[in-house]
Structure 1
Amino acid sequence: MAWFAITFAFAVPSMLVMFRDDSGLTRRTWIQSLIFAASIAAIIAICCGKGKP
């Protein structure tokens, strides 16, 4: 769970910067950013959490 939280905290701002457009941060931008950040965090948590009970 810690890997997911740490990665999610770093991925959300990165995704917001990547997905924002000229009109700023819209609802669509937030949704896309949260979905992609959760996907990235899940992959990192699975890869880095292997071997731990």
Structure 2
Amino acid sequence: MLTASRLTWFAIAVAFAVPSTLVMFRDNGVVTRDAWIKSFVFAAAVVAVVAVVFGKGSQ
């Protein structure tokens, strides 16, 4: 279930995960289309885990 807490953690995680994975996947310092795609896929997995683990709603 999507709660405000999970949504907040999702937004925070996206703000940190996408730029850091983009730095990891760039090719010789150049940000290519492949680097963007890999970054978003990897960041999506990280963000999903962070949002679920840290964004506990009232149960």
Shorter-normalised TM-score: what interval?
0.7 to 0.9
Q: Residues of 2 paired with 1:9 and 1:46: CA distance?
A: 16
Identity %: 54
Q: Residues of 2 paired with 1:27 and 1:9: CA distance?
A: 19
Q: TM-score, normalised by structure 1?
A: 0.87
Q: Residues of 1 paired with 2:50 and 2:29: CA distance?
A: 31
Counterpart selection for 1:44 from 40, 50, 59: 50
Where in structure 1 are there 5+ consecutive unaligned residues? none
Where in structure 2 are there 5+ consecutive unaligned residues? 1-6
Q: Which 4+ residue blocks in structure 1 deviate beyond 2 angstroms?
A: none
Displacement of 1:21 in angstroms is 1.1
For residues 1-47 of structure 1, the C-alpha deviation after alignment (integer angstroms, 9 at most, x for no partner) is: 11111101101110011011126111000000011111101000000
Q: TM-score, normalised by structure 2?
A: 0.79
Q: Residues of 2 paired with 1:6 and 1:29: CA distance?
A: 21
Figure out how many residues of one structure are paired with residues of the other and give that number.
Answer: 52
